[in-house]
Amino acid sequence: MLINCIAYQDGKRLADIPILEISNYLDKPDCFVWVALKDPTPEELAEMKAEFSLHELAVEDAQVGHQRPKIEEYGDSIFAVIQLVEAIENELNIGEIDVFVGRNYVLSVRSRSQQRFVGVRDRCESEPHLLKQGAGFVLYALMDTVVDRYFPIVDSMESELETIEGQIFTKGSARANTERLYDLKQKVMVMKHAVFPLMEAVGKLYGGRVPQVCINSQEYFRDVYYHLTRINSSIDTIRDTIGSAMQVNLAMVTIEDNEVIKSLAAWAGMFAVPTAFAGLWGMNFKYMPELDWYYGYPLALFTIAGACIILYWRFKKSGWL
């Protein structure tokens, strides 16, 4: 689906144009065309390929989707894959935006995501002195917006981890904590797969050999790189903390199991006393001194009860009950 197709010249918006007129603007000096698509059909991508002379391998990647974040050069153009991560009902949805950038065009292809980028276009149009830098600045603006949307997700994961840590020492919550920690670990890995490859790719857009289309926006891509570095560092910290929390949680499970075992052993010990006395006095010998004694039965019951009371007191004092 075509979202918009707009021509810009010298950093200023010229007009919304139909796709068939794109070629009329590509040859104008200081002019570029910015096209945005959402979940395009193969026919729409084929049309864009013909208009902008896109490389067939890049078009194939955009059509197939589910690509690892990357930035690839094809002659004097570049192809960027950026993962869109959004939280929906406590689950992370993974979308993708593929950006084709040339000297006089920008084509963004958004797939499997409801995130909107109207604000990016408004931001660029409100800064014509920056938009004058060309298609490279548009790539920066799109990338910067995506990266900024990573921060709230990472912050929410940190908050969730702090909540789980506060419940680790709550008795009886070990199983629930383990499930929540593993669920959080999966979310962290999703963010890691979105951030780390992109960080490596963006590092090639400033300093050293930089693609010609991005050469005027190097400092902006460096800023994006630093943001990704911060996010990646936070993700690594969360992942390490999750590992420590799992170990502590398993230790709490072991402690709770030991408490149960000690309690069972204490009750077994108390039941062993009457069992021993009953077994002793229940033997079928003809001559047993206590059989004919008038107070034998009450004394036997008193002895059994007294022994059980003493054991209960000792176990209670030692913390086994």
Q: Is residue 275 part of a domain?
A: yes
Q: Is residue 34 part of a domain?
A: yes
> How is residue 114 written in tokens?
């409801």
CATH number at residue 270: 1.20.58.340
Banded pLDDT at 284 (limits 50, 70, 90): low
pLDDT in tens, 244-273: 888 888 887 777 777 777 777 788 877 787
Where in 20-137 does DSSP place strands (E)? 31-38, 70-74, 77-88, 91-102, 105-111
Report the Cα–Cα distance between both ends of the chain, in Å, rounded: 69
In whole angstroms, how far apart are CA 157 and each of 69, 91, 162, 166, 310? 22, 11, 9, 14, 52
Q: Is residue 127 part of a domain?
A: no
Banded pLDDT at 285 (limits 50, 70, 90): low
For 188-207, what is the mean pLDDT? 92
DSSP one-letter code for 28: S
Which of 68-77, 183-192, 307-316 comes out lowest in average pLDDT? 307-316
For 271-292, what is the mean pLDDT? 71
Q: What gap in Å lies between CA 314 and CA 190, rounded to an integer?
A: 53
Q: Is residue 302 part of a domain?
A: yes
Q: Which domain holds residue 300?
A: 254-318
pLDDT in tens, 106-151: 999 999 888 888 889 889 988 988 888 889 999 999 999 999 999 9
For 299-303, what is the mean pLDDT? 78
CATH number at residue 40: 3.30.460.20
Q: Is residue 188 part of a domain?
A: no
Instruction: Report the share of the chain in percent with pLDDT over 70.
Output: 94
Which of 98, 120, 142 terminates a domain? The answer is 120
Is the confidence at residue 158, as pLDDT, over 90?
yes
Is the confidence at residue 315, as pLDDT, over 80?
no
pLDDT in tens, 26-83: 888 889 999 999 999 999 999 999 989 899 999 999 988 888 999 999 988 999 999 9
Is the confidence at residue 277, as pLDDT, over 80?
no
Is the confidence at residue 184, as pLDDT, over 90?
yes
Is the confidence at residue 293, as pLDDT, over 90?
no
Q: What gap in Å lies between CA 291 and CA 285, rounded to an integer?
A: 10
Which of 65, 90, 120 terminates a domain? The answer is 120
Banded pLDDT at 286 (limits 50, 70, 90): low
The rounded mean pLDDT for the chain is 87
Position with higher pLDDT, 18 vs 1: 18
Instruction: Report the share of the chain in percent with pLDDT over 90.
Output: 43
Which of 53, 86, 120 terminates a domain? The answer is 120
Q: Is residue 107 part of a domain?
A: yes
Number of folded domains that form the chain: 2
